[in-house]
Amino acid sequence: MSNRQAEIAAALDVVPPFADDAALNAEIERRKTFIKHVLKQSGLKVLVLGISGGVDSLTAGRLAQLAVEELRTETGDSAYRFIAVRLPHNAQHDEQDAQDSLKFIRADEDDTVNIAGAVNGLGEQVTHLQKLSDARRDFVVGNVKARIRMVAQFAIANANNGLVIGTDHAAEAVMGFFTKFGDGACDLAPLSGLVKNQVRAIARHLGAPQHLVMKTPTADLEELRPGKPDEEAHGVTYAEIDAFLHGEAVSDEAYATIVRTYDNTRHKRELPLVP
C-alpha cells in the first residue's frame, strides 16, 4: 500500500475486507445499530430514502427497514417507520428494477414523487441554461435532478418529523461521484466506509435478488445518455477502486486516475469554505 492509498483510505474510514461471514454479519449489525442510535439520539422516529433501483439504495433501504422494525420491537413504539420514495423523472428506463427493489425492501410506506415538473419548471426560469450546448445543458440539468430529488426527500422528512438517509459509500466518495448538495446531502449515511463489493456482499447476504446485486451501477442523470455506467464516467472500474481503497496493487493508470479525481473533488467532501 502506498502512502497516498493509506492516507485516502484513512480519510474515508474504509472498512477492511470481510474476513468471513462472521465479519460480514458483524458489519451488518453495526450498521443497523448506527441507524437506530442516530434515530433515537435525534428524538425523531421516521427515516426517508429515495429508491433508484440500484444496489446502494436497495441495501441502505433494507438496513433502514430492519432497523426501524427492531426499534419497534425494542421500544414497543409503533411510531418508528421507514418511508421508501421513488423519484423518477418522467418514465425511468429501469423502473422494473426499482419496483423489484421496493418488493425486497418491504418498507413501511412507499411513495412516489415525479420530479419532471419541478426540473422542467426550474429549467424554464434559468435562462443561463439556454445558452449552453446540448451536452453541457444535459450535464447541468442532471445535477438539478439530483438536487430536486433531495429537496423532495427532505420535504417528506420534514412533513413527518424524520431524517433523510444518504447512500454514499467509500467507492463513490473517493471519486467525488455525487452531486454537491444533491445526493451528497443527507442526515445519515449508513453505507459510509464500505467499498462497492462490500455493499454488494451485504445486499446478497440480506437476500437481495442477484440481478439487483450485480446490476451495472448508473447515476442515470443524463437524458442524452440514459443509464450511462458509473465506470464509464470514472475512467476506472469499481474493482480497481475497491482494490485501491483496500491497499492492493492497481495499474499505474488506475492509480493516477483515482488519486487525481480524489484531489480534484476534495471540495465535495468538505464543509463550505469560510473566511
Interval 41-70: pLDDT, tens: 999 999 999 999 999 999 999 999 999 999
Q: Mean pLDDT score of the chain, rounded to an integer?
A: 96
- CB distance 28 to 66 below 8 Å: no
Interval 145-159: pLDDT, tens: 999 999 999 999 999
Q: Which whole number is the average pLDDT over 231-246?
A: 95
- CB distance 19 to 54 below 8 Å: no
**Eight-class DSSP state of 8:** H
pLDDT of residue 75: 97
pLDDT of residue 221: 87
224 pLDDT above the threshold of 90: no
Examine the residue annotation and report whether 230 is marked as an active-site residue of this protein. Answer: no
CB atoms within 10 A of CB 247: 14
Domains and CATH numbers, the chain: 16-226 (3.40.50.620)
Sheet holding 162-164, edge to edge: 109-112, 81-86, 46-50, 162-164
Among residues 27, 108, 168, 172, the one annotated as catalytic is 172
223 pLDDT above the threshold of 90: no
208 pLDDT above the threshold of 90: yes
Q: How far apart are CA 173 and CA 268, in angstroms?
A: 9
Residues pairing with 218 in the sheet: 229
Q: How far apart are CA 193 and CA 84, in angstroms?
A: 23
Among residues 56, 108, 230, 240, the one annotated as catalytic is 56
Model confidence, pTM: 0.95
Examine the residue annotation and report whether 263 is marked as an active-site residue of this protein. Answer: no
pLDDT of residue 149: 97
pLDDT of residue 80: 98
pLDDT of residue 225: 82
The identity of residue 211, as a single letter, is H
